[in-house]
Amino acid sequence: MTALAWKINRLKLMGPAEVVWRVHQLARRKATAMGLGLASYPPVPSLDRFGAAFLAAPAEVDASALCMAADSLLAGRWNVFALEGVQLGFPPQWNRDPRTGTTAPMAPGPSIDYRDASLVGDIKYLWEPSRHLELVTLAQAWRCSGERKYRDGARALLTSWLDQCPYPQGVHWASSLELGVRLLNWAAAWQLLAGSLDDDWRHRWLNAVYKHCHFISHHLSRHSSANNHLLGEYMGLYIASLQWPCWPESVRWRAMAERGLVEQGLLQNWEDGVNKEQAIYYHHEVMDMMLLCQLAALANGGSFPAEWLARLERMAEFLAAVMDVGGNVPMIGDADDARMLRLDASDAPPYRSLLASAALLFGRADFKAKAGALDDRNRWLFADADARWAALPAPAPGAREEPRVAFPQGGYYLLGKDFGTPQEVRIVVDCGPLGYLSLAAHGHADALAFTLSMGGQEMLVDPGTYAYHTHRQWRDYFRSTAAHNTVQMDGLDQSEIGGNFMWLQKANAVALSHDATHFFEGKHDGYMRLRDPVMHRRIIRFDSKRNAVIVEDILECFGEHEVALHWHFAEGCHAEKVGQALHIAKRDKGLHMSCHFGSGPQLHSASMAPIAGWISRSFDSKSGIATAAWRGTIRGTSTIVTEITLLEGASS
């Protein structure tokens, strides 16, 4: 897609108010380039006005793991997405993309087109180290061990960044969200390094904090961009104004951020607890932002409103509902592997840790049961975490989980049986909006898709995300209809892609019926845009006695259409065709899929032509899986029935 085509598509999704605002922002960028309106000379800070720490001082954490991670950093070895232990040096070259080697220009940050890979490389890789999660790791190692090399390393890392990334030059001054996350990590590192800063270090750091706050307050994401980015910007501004209330503007910044956090926390999350991005990883990120802000507020004698906290608790209930007994969470929508604040050396998925946080914050024993164990991250976040954890009652032996099974605003529904037990069957049906606001930036074309796990083993999966700003072909595949367990018409997606984070015509999904854990019916209109319009209606029945799932896809139309019914199986699933049917085996679990449509299933694994049979468990990493598609032609309204028998004791 050319830059002009992208701009035309982007303009289509703006209203008049946004166009006016964008023109104003363009004028501000030009003024910034001329040196106008900058905070080049911050006022002298008041040094007797620091906020209370929101981090605890845990007595028992895995200090050896933290020190090992810090030692790797000091040796110049970094983990950045798919690059593990890559030698970037210490300190690194902050404006050089570690993945491509591209050095970004030192123009005024807001004027840099960070979407242009030829200019900046892969912007995700370039931005990630500058969020300074590693600064916190060094500060933790200093706090745990008292070894000066970690404190000196923290100073070297920070001051090198200040030297190489002068305000407001370069790509690290292009996105206010990046500044917001950096401020959060600076606040955590500041608390951990308390008492060890010399005057020069403190002076340079505080000047940078002021410039960050000033920049964010003038470059907030608005209108169609006011998604999780805006919440992250408010988070950084709020945490900074609490930690460093050192300037007259701090009072205004705090009020602005607190007001924005309350407003956006309620606006961006449905009342049923589902984040409106329709992407579960972003649901986790927004939950974490809200959690950290509440903990900072509590540490400083405040709290967010009861309605806001109730929304956060509901978000935890949704996360618990879609997590199976093995701790697996469907990879619905986009995921970028971002962490707001990393406080332990584990690379485990963040969902159980977040539920452990919710258990401690809200006193919920059911969240404790889903989390399974207390981790070191929560020991850093909560004083007396172990005692509080122990005070929450443990579930009775053999007790079944009783999750919420319907989230009608977010559009997710559960089917299955024996939740929370080794016999669990958990089906998560997606019948929600495509995404949030006019861009629907992080949504995938997955209407009426579902995932299936048995006894904590994933069987039918959502294959994930893989790419963002680069690998356009792969970016489009992983969010396409063909990459989800649903029906594709005439080789087209349900919704029309307009750019890497942009959808034009969008499918609207509606749930028609949901009966407890056994029946679901929904429809979407994504293919009503075709010359011969098609309405897709899907019925899913779970027969707990037969241990079977019956799927009816009703395609209402008049003309002729090519249909593909796609299914994606988790790693470790062995697929074998048996006539018109398909047998899937995974350790002691299995599926028998029968569908009398077309000439039987077509199998792909790690295929490049066509692209099919892939999964991405982490950003910029992918591997092959078994994928099946039943293909055929329909003429007029047709019903395709797929029967999936769930097998126990199947041998792979």
**37 φ/ψ sector (left φ>0, alpha ψ -120 to 50, else beta):** left
List beta partners, residue 558. Answer: none
Q: How far apart are CA 471 and CA 124, in angstroms?
A: 13
Q: How far apart are CA 320 and CA 329, in angstroms?
A: 9
Place of tokens 């992250």: 232
- What phi and psi values does residue 424 have, to the nearest 5 degrees? -60, 140
Cβ atoms of residues 100 and 122 within 8 Å:
yes
DSSP state of 301: T
Q: Where are the beta strands (DSSP E) in 286-424?
A: 406-407, 412-417
Q: Which CATH number is 406-648 given?
A: 2.70.98.70
pLDDT score for 292: 98
Radius of gyration of the chain (CA): 25
Place of tokens 């559009």: 411
CATH 1.50.10.100 fits 38-267, yes or no: yes
Q: How far apart are CA 168 and CA 152, in angstroms?
A: 26
Return the SS3 of 640: strand
Q: How far apart are CA 190 and CA 196, in angstroms?
A: 9
Single-letter amino acid, residue 331: M
List beta partners, residue 567. Answer: 628
Q: How far apart are CA 330 and CA 280, in angstroms?
A: 8
Q: What is the 3-state secondary structure (H, E, C) of 215-230?
A: HHHHCCCCHHHCCHHH
Q: How far apart are CA 91 and CA 81, in angstroms?
A: 18
- Extract the residue ranges of the chain whose pLDDT is less than 70: 650-652
- Please report which helix (H) or strand (E) contains residue 41, including its range: none
Single-letter amino acid, residue 68: M
Of 80, 12, 117, 77, the C-alpha closest to 619 is 80
Range(s) of the chain covered by CATH 2.70.98.70: 406-648
Return the SS3 of 605: strand
User: Which tokens is 313 given?
Assistant: 């608790």
pLDDT score for 652: 43
Place of tokens 């209109």: 525
Which residues lie below 8 Å from residue 238, measured CB to CB, with a gap of 6+?
254, 257, 258, 261, 293, 296
Single-letter amino acid, residue 583: H
Range(s) of the chain covered by CATH 1.50.10.100: 38-267
Cβ atoms of residues 358 and 316 within 8 Å:
yes
- Dihedral angle over CA of 371, 377, 381, 384, nearest 10: 70
Q: How far apart are CA 62 and CA 547, in angstroms?
A: 44
Place of tokens 């840099």: 112
List beta partners, residue 542. Answer: 549
pTM above 0.85, yes or no: yes
Pairing between β-strand 611-612 and β-strand 607-608 as defined by DSSP bridges:
antiparallel
Q: What is the 3-state secondary structure (H, E, C) of 186-212?
A: HHHHHHHCCCCCCHHHHHHHHHHHHHH
Single-letter amino acid, residue 566: H
315-352: per-residue pLDDT in tens?
999 999 999 999 999 999 999 999 999 999 887 789 99
* In 113-198, alpha helices (H): 117-120, 123-127, 133-145, 148-164, 176-192
Q: How far apart are CA 640 and CA 651, in angstroms?
A: 29
Q: Residue 482 to residues 70, 490, 564, 567, 628: CA-CA distances in angstroms?
A: 42, 11, 8, 9, 10
Cβ atoms of residues 361 and 353 within 8 Å:
no
Q: 635: buried, middle or exposed (CB in 10 Å: 19+, 13-18, 0-12)?
A: exposed
- Dihedral angle over CA of 138, 139, 142, 144, nearest 10: -110
pLDDT score for 545: 96
Q: How far apart are CA 625 and CA 616, in angstroms?
A: 10
